[in-house]
Amino acid sequence: MEMMERPCLMEKIEKHIESIPTLESSRMRLFNVLQEEDSSIESIEQVVSSDPAMVAKVIKLANSSFYRHTERHVGIQQALRTVGLDMVKCIALSMAVMETFGNETPSMKELWKHSYAVAFISGMLGCSKPEKECLFTGGLLHDLGRMVLICKAPDQYLPLCEFSGNWPDLTLENDVFSLDHTIIGEMIGLRWHFPPEVISVIRHHHEPVCRMSALVYLTDKVTMQKEGDSSAEDLASEATIKGYLGDEYKDLVNTIRQRYRTNKAVFENMG
């Protein structure tokens, strides 16, 4: 690519980011309700029921072969109890973001499926409620910058995926756009007023700087390996990550692998 084109592409992406609206929808209201410790199933059902698309998605998931053990199809209240509030939170936040970036192309569908897996698994690794919430949200949106590139610069970004055979690495993205998807994700996170710890996970999920970003990094890489992505690094040599995670490193790798195997059908049905 000509050197003159790179600043133009970067300016194009930055202008697109400036034009992206803030997240204000019934789905974000539901996500905020789910963050409250004293939320009742009745209050959640009331918010969900006002959004037919979300009702359809929750009921479809609850009636999938993974959850349903009888021939009787369930309604919305039983569906909420069946899939669990963490999964409802996942659906709410992802649908809010989809309103901005869509979910129509095969690449975007694959990215969302991967993001669901990282969110669901990493959210289980937290030691406290605030940790779990940070890991869940950061895990779901760790590739937010890729969504921007797929949506706003598909003609330049999707050929990079074909060229690399997987998702392009940060170096390749920088070569083409003069910035990478972690920086773009950070910019969106700031625009949407996400908590600083979530923005840090989005920005540093390839180069961790703390326990939270290290857990999402590890979940991301192990999940990519299970999905058959040959670009996922060899985890055995990740000395920096071990420094943040300590003696639990090997156990965490095994836990992530096991939870991916156990819940793979759920991630498939989320698409």
Q: Residue 135 to residues 68, 90, 119: CA-CA distances in angstroms? A: 28, 12, 7
In whole angstroms, give the CA distance from residue 193 to residue 23: 9
Q: Which residue has the tokens 């694959």?
A: 110
Q: How far apart are CA 251 and CA 189, in angstroms?
A: 31
Please, which residues have CB within 8 angstroms of residue 58's CB and are 6 or more apart in sequence?
A: 48, 76, 79, 80, 83, 88, 91
* Mean pLDDT, all residues of the chain: 82
Cβ distance 165 to 24 under 8 Å? no
CATH code, 134 = 1.10.3210.10
Query: Mind listing the pLDDT tens digit for each residue in 94-107?
Result: 888 887 777 678 88
Residue 101 phi/psi, 5-degree rounding, is: -110, -10
Contact (Cβ atoms closer than 8 angstroms) between residue 27 and residue 99: yes
Range in 24-28, 111-115, 214-218, 223-227 the model is least confident about:
24-28
Domain that holds residue 12: 5-270
How far is residue 28's CA from residue 25's CA, in Å, rounded to a whole number? 5
Output the pTM of the full model: 0.82
Q: Identify the CA nearest to 23 among candidates 143, 185, 194.
A: 194
Angle at 115 between CA 234 and CA 220, to 5 degrees: 15
Between residues 179 and 26, which one has the greater pLDDT?
179
Predicted local distance difference test score (pLDDT) of residue 232: 56
The total domain count for the chain is: 1
pLDDT band of residue 46 (cuts 50, 70, 90) is: confident
In angstroms, how far is CA 89 from the centroid of its own chain? 12
pLDDT digit string (tens) for 144-160?
999 989 988 888 898 88
Tokens of 147: 């969504």
What distance in Å separates the CA atoms of residue 101 and residue 185, rounded to the nearest whole number?
13
Q: Specify whether the CB–CB gap between 136 and 86 falls below 8 A.
A: yes
**Are 142 and 185 contacting, i.e. CB atoms less than 8 angstroms apart?**
yes
Per the CB < 8 A criterion, the answer to whether 166 and 231 are in contact is yes
Residues 183-209 have a mean pLDDT of 92
Task: Record the tokens describing residue 197, joined without a space.
Answer: 């710890």
Would you give the DSSP letter of residue 84?
-
Rounded CA separation 64/266 (Å): 8
> Of 126, 139, 125, 138, whose CA–CA distance to 267 is shortest?
139
